[in-house]
């Protein structure tokens, strides 16, 4: 089957899946997103623009849009399996390679450590299936990483006390620091404040 770009304006593009006669049969909308996760040689974030589906309330794609598109590909033999099986496997792939993997390691000093027993890993995955595994991850959200960090700190109250002490110590250092040292202190304070807010979200 073939696709066609119908519109491309204001960082939004409408694409169509064409039927056998070459007419638009099904539609989906892509949005141009900005990412600044990568860093250049100067240490500054690099702007990376990429096309992707919008999600949540911002999306103009309906669930049936995806079902119709995938169903049409299935009928045309363009999928390796039945459309319903493809949808099932796509959901499983997202959980297996996203939510589940993150929960099965411990975050410590910026490293992901494989220190949990298989029973502890299973318990984390099972607990996530109560709801958190199915929540959409927003940009900058590190809920799963935060969960494992809390596990290594034993409890939320202890970690919050640690953040409080670290912030007070950095604020004292900031009174006499200058230049790059002061910038580093402010950056560390911002990280601690972000973690504190995430814990209370």
**How many C-beta atoms surround the C-beta of residue 1 within 10 A?**
15
Domain extent, residue 54, equals 1-79
* Cα–Cα distance measured from residue 4 to residue 18, given in angstroms and rounded to the nearest whole number: 7
What pLDDT sits at residue 30? 96
Place of tokens 């056998």: 20
165-180 tens-digit pLDDT:
888 888 888 888 888 8
| Structural domain includes residue 123 | no
Contacts for 83 with CB less than 8 Å, ≥ 6 apart: 67, 70, 71, 73, 74, 75
Asked whether 163 and 192 are in contact (CB, 8 A), the reply is yes
31-54 tens-digit pLDDT:
999 988 777 788 888 888 899 999
* β-bridge pairing 106-108 and 48-52: unpaired
What pLDDT sits at residue 29? 96
| Structural domain includes residue 146 | no
In sequence order, which ranges of 40-155 are alpha helices (DSSP H)?
Answer: 63-75, 83-94, 100-103, 118-128, 143-152
Residue where a domain stops, chosen among 79, 96, 125 = 79
| Structural domain includes residue 148 | no
Helix (H) or strand (E) holding 157: helix 156-174
Is the pLDDT reported for residue 116 higher than 70? Answer: yes
Q: Mean pLDDT over residues 113-134, rounded? A: 89
The percent of residues in the chain predicted with pLDDT above 90, rounded, is: 36
| Structural domain includes residue 188 | yes
Q: Per the structure, how many domains does the chain have?
A: 2
Tokens for 29?
Answer: 């909308």
Is the pLDDT reported for residue 98 higher than 80? Answer: no
| Structural domain includes residue 90 | no
Residue where a domain stops, chosen among 79, 101, 131 = 79
Given pLDDT bands bounded at 50, 70 and 90, which one contains residue 65? Answer: very high
Side-chain-facing half-sphere of 55: CA atoms under 13 Å: 6
What pLDDT sits at residue 146? 54
| Structural domain includes residue 70 | yes
Instruction: Determine if the pTM surpasses 0.85.
Output: no
Strand, helix or coil at 19? coil
| Structural domain includes residue 135 | no
């Amino acid at each position: 089957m073939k696709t066609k770009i119908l519109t491309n304006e204001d960082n939004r593009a409408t694409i169509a899946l064409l039927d056998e006669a070459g007419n638009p049969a099904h539609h989906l909308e892509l949005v141009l997103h900005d990412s600044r996760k990568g860093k250049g040689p100067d240490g500054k974030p690099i702007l990376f623009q990429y096309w992707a589906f919008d999600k949540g309330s911002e999306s103009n794609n309906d669930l049936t849009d995806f079902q119709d598109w995938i169903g049409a590909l299935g009928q045309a033999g363009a999928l390796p399996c039945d459309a319903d099986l493809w949808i099932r496997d796509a959901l499983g792939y997202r959980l297996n390679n996203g939510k589940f993997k993150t929960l099965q390691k411990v975050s410590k000093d910026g490293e992901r450590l494989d220190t949990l027993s298989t029973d502890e890993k299973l318990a984390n995955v099972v607990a996530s299936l109560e709801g958190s595994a199915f929540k959409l991850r927003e940009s900058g959200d590190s809920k799963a990483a935060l969960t494992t960090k809390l596990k290594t700190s034993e409890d939320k109250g202890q970690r919050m006390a640690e953040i409080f002490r670290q912030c007070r110590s950095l604020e004292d250092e900031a009174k006499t620091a200058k230049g790059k040292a002061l910038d580093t202190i402010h950056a560390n304070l911002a990280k601690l404040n972000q973690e504190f807010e995430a814990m209370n979200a």
